[in-house]
Amino acid sequence: MTTEVDLDVPLRIADLRAARDPVKVVVGPQVRERVTAARTFLSAVLGDDRAVYGATTGFGALVGYAGRADLRDQADNTLAHLGAGQGPELDPDVVRATVLLRAASLARGASGVSPHVIDALAAMLATTFVPAVPRLGSVGASGDLIPLGAAAQALRGRGHAYLDGVRLPAGEALKRAGLEPLPLDGRDALALVNGTSLTTAATALALDAARSAHRAVQVLTCLLADLLGSDTQFLDPRLLAAYGHPGAVDVGARMRRVGAGLVASGARPLQEPYSIRCAPQLLGAAEDALRYVDAVVGADLASVTDNPLFFPDEDLVVHGGNFFGQPAAFAADVLSMVVAQVGNLAERQLDLLVDPNRNGGLPPMLAAGPGQQHGLQGVQLAATALITEIRRDTMPASMQSVPTNLHNQDVVPLGTQAALRALDQTRLLHLVVGSLAVGLRQAAYVGARAPTAPGCAEALAAVAAAVPPIDPDRPLDADVRRAADVIADFSVSFS
């Protein structure tokens, strides 16, 4: 069944997820009315010889010079000079989410864009067509100019695109998809590129993935405590209420639901290592940080990121900087820190689990026959590499401003880099979480006690159904990925 997305209401992250496949984008009468009104107003403004950036002027630092007289020629000029992107191409899921978000921003009716542009974006999203967009080139200041320029060119039949996963010349991909090349004038072209849609889309998708991993680690922490027979005082509601942080209170409540019925073995120390005992405080702080990112992403999904903006009812053309992606830049950097620390927690829990000095006497590396077999040894090595990769990339991008564009863009947020990096990190975190899940499944096989909490037993059963015991040794890369997917799906029931 094809998902339906209505451009008359703010987008949700679920809509961006759905856009990886063909979606039906509804451009309703209210959208069409306000977009047409702004476009009509733009025509009147240009007829009055009023200055409109990008329509009557050059771009960026060249704003003081006149633009080209022919508006279609102005569109060519807009997009041609942005064809400077480099590096690997963006993931198709990210590009399609970006196009949907750009359509939603334009549909707010403040950009002066032609209605047929929004129709063309909607038509594209109903197919498997994906513009080929280079990753490198945006500083997130005048929007994501270079990547959005590549997307716009592909919609015009220039450059390259993917159809059904096959990379083709964009013109051929359009033809096979049953789409027409998109005609643009200067305002249309500028409106397509002059916004932070890539930055916001990547931040939103990273937030979604980080929340999934965050939920999964809460479940796996409870399962770890149950398999070890830990005392659950660390989840006491009075303890966490005294701590006073809303995230910790809520995470503790969720973990108590997972671990309801857990009976301590009495064989563990009074106080567990911090990777268990302080998990609600760490994951609670992550929850508070994720809520901040929630608010930023929510605002961005409903915003108009363009310049200039048109207000027909007030006879105003307003020039400014709504394309400046600083909110998402800060939010993505916060997300990166959350991902690193949640990953640290999961990796340290795996380290505890494979260590016979701390795991209650289970065999080293959880090997079914130590020496003859090696159990989790390779998985732990890989998890260590994954977490160090995440940590290496946590330097905030939003503080790396470098003046450019003849000092027209003398401060830049670099939100695109922050957002794409955070998304990369969440994919690695997913694998660290899967590594811990495989370890817990193997611990149950090599002698850990059966879970006493029904929620923990269900979590273990879900992973065990997807991952056989490691006996004898085998490659575990696919098992880690499967376990990560299974525990992510399972954890939704406790969200």
Helix 326-354 vs helix 415-445: crossing angle, to nearest 10: 20
Q: Where are the alpha helices (DSSP H) in 229-325?
A: 237-243, 246-258, 274-277, 279-301
Of the candidates 324, 320, 296, the residue with the CA atom closest to the CA atom of residue 309:
320
Say how many CA atoms lie within 13 Å of 459 toward its Cβ. Answer: 38
Q: Which of 53, 65, 162, 292 is catalytic?
A: 53
3-state SS, one letter per residue, for 100-159: HHHHHHHCCCCCCCCHHHHHHHHHHHCCCCEECCEEECCCCECECHHHHHHHHHHHCCCC
What 3-state DSSP class applies to 31?
A: helix
- CB-neighbour burial class of residue 32 (10 A; exposed 0-12, middle 13-18, buried 19+): middle
What distance lies between CA 334 and its chain's CA centroid?
A: 13
375: left (phi over 0), alpha (psi -120 to 50) or beta: left
Q: Is 53 a catalytic residue?
A: yes
User: At residue 487, what is the residue type?
Assistant: I
Annotated catalytic sites, by residue? Answer: 53
